[in-house]
Amino acid sequence: MSARDGATRREFLGIAGSLAVTAGAAPPPLPKVKFGQVEITRLIIGSNPLYGYSHFNRILDNLMREWMTQDRRIEVLHRAEQCGINTWQVHYNDPTIEDLKRYRAEGGKMHWLLLADFELMKNWKLLPEVARLNPIGIAHHGNRTDERFRAGQMSIVRDFVNAVHDAGVPAGVSTHNPAVIEYIEEHGWNVDYYMTCMYRVTRTPEEARKEFGEAPVGEIYMERDPERMCAVVRKTRKTCFAFKVLGAGRNVNTPERLEAAFRFVLTNIKPQDAIIVGMFPRFKDEIRENVEIVSRILAGGPAAT
């Protein structure tokens, strides 16, 4: 390890707080559920903050990317594993695959759940190569799914699902729109799981105006969207991975709102389902905090006071 590598590790530990867990101070264990051939924790670490996708504005995107060097991304993954999270959801791109390989070379053991994106969405011939890296599932990207649904091109999404199966990997569909899940269920597709966004951020301005009478500036986060998506999640027998549980950071401004967002989703999805949460431990050890909150909720504990 170089001197710079050592400095980066020390900086990360200092910035994020007490990231080194001392004896007897480990967070409570996270419940696990069966998914395919493995058991996964019901809290999965996401990847958007690691790569500067804030879903807020370009300023925050750039600040995230500036701080999240590869060294820090790998530290975050190791910290997640240290706190008991055993699955990482990541989109496909050259930097993410490089990070996966480095993480594994350093002894990282988390399962990885792949969201197809970038070149993989364009070139399905890459699927067998990606399958050799042993993802526990590959899902069609949610933005692309919603675009296909809007354009009446869901046969392309179904063909992608079939191609994933041909590569020997469980296949999923990610979406922000509950109607997509209803469509797939009605047509009896052979899908293994869904990735379900708690907020329908892919509404077009025209769709928003039709539904609400006006369109907001930027992505759309409506307060009853989680309720609408959870209702569909409960109807399907397939495993669902709920994401944007915290509204891309919009639900974290107070401890009460943070816990309420976690609690609503965890108590309104199925026992076999899990949540995907992006984490950015720049100012506090939010990895441990999230683990503690989720473990307490799933154990039936009351809200923190």
On whether the CB atoms of residues 299 and 66 are closer than 8 A, the answer is no
Rounded to 5 degrees, φ, ψ at 193 are -165, 165
pTM of the model: 0.91
pLDDT digits (tens, 9 = 90+) for 10-62: 454 444 444 444 334 788 999 999 999 999 999 999 999 999 999 999 999 99
pLDDT digits (tens, 9 = 90+) for 104-128: 999 999 999 999 988 999 999 999 9
pLDDT digits (tens, 9 = 90+) for 209-220: 999 999 989 899
| HEC secondary structure over 46-97 | CCCHHHCCCCCCHHHHHHHHHHCCHHHHHHHHHHHHHCCCCEEEEECCHHHH
Q: Encode burial over 128-150: b for 16+ CB neighbours within 10 A, e otherwise.
A: eebbeeebbbbbbbbbbbbebbe
Where do the structural domains in the chain lie, given as residue ranges?
24-298
- Provide the token pair at 238: 């397939």
CATH superfamily of 24-298: Aldolase class I (3.20.20.70)
